[in-house]
Amino acid sequence: MPNEPENEKPALLPLDAPRVINLNVKGRVYTWRFRRITLEDWRKYFTAIVHQTLRVDGVKEDVWEDETAKVELTDAAVTAVEGYGDLSGAKNWKSALPLAHRVAAAVVLRSVGRSKSTGDESAICDLVEVRLDGCWSAGEDGKMTYYEGLVHRFRQPSVADLKRFNFEAARVRVVGDARNGVSVYPPRQAIAMKIYDDLIESVEGYSVAGAPLVDVDAIKREMDGAHKAEAAMALFSSDGRIDIE
């Protein structure tokens, strides 16, 4: 399993830096080194997740399978591993690595979510602020660096933006009929990545080449795809209950 992230107060998250992940399995540490994960890598990952409803003689069965997508993401981006001994005898060293380790590494690469610390959501303004927390890479001490309160500021989504997101997210492809067939659901994260680029205005907490990420075109080009998807999806969802008094 991955090491637990340390609650440190790091500087800016370096989007362009290679990533290092240490897996601690029964007291033994395995080090994984990755090239930068591109936006195309993330698109392939999100679209490879299988979300379907199968119908056989009128009986429905929901299917969710994402481990294959995780393994494919890991295999595409890993450049080296340490702790496994001599892998030179393997025809394909990546395929020789344990599947469970390849899945665990992808879980860490994908480790980003809505922040526990949020701004003043009651304020009326032209921009919406979304904050994310996540771990990124191991430092020189081998511990994962954890980033809190990464800020993404968006233009307020319009009714047309909401309709577009809901329409595309609900566009189900059906093969067969009501008794025997397959309903294939679209990847919401891939849709969110597109909407991110349309609405993003500024970010805080990220850097490229050692400098803060400030230019909108640079944000669209440089921002990590998993962070894009998570931030944009937060625009169209609520993580709290609204009571009517």
Convert the pLDDT of each residue in 39-93 to its tens digit: 999 999 999 998 878 888 778 888 878 999 999 999 999 999 999 988 878 889 9
pLDDT at 171 over 60: yes
Kindly report the pTM of this predicted structure: 0.84
Convert the pLDDT of each residue in 209-227 to its tens digit: 999 999 999 999 999 999 9
Give the amino acid at 217: D
pLDDT at 5 over 80: no
DSSP result, 65-125 = E-HHHHHHHHHHHEEEEESS---TTSSSHHHHS-HHHHHHHHHHHT-EEE-SS---TT---
Distance of alpha carbon 73 from the chain centroid: 11
Strands 173-176 and 211-212: unpaired
Strands 127-138 and 19-25: unpaired
Residue with tokens 């059906």: 174
DSSP result, 143-185 = PEEEEEEEEEEEEPPPHHHHHHHHHHHT--EEEE-SSSEEEE-
User: How many CB atoms lie under 10 A from the CB of residue 158?
Assistant: 10
What's the pLDDT score for residue 243? 47
Closest-CA residue to 56 (of 182, 147, 149): 182
User: How many CB atoms lie under 10 A from the CB of residue 16?
Assistant: 12
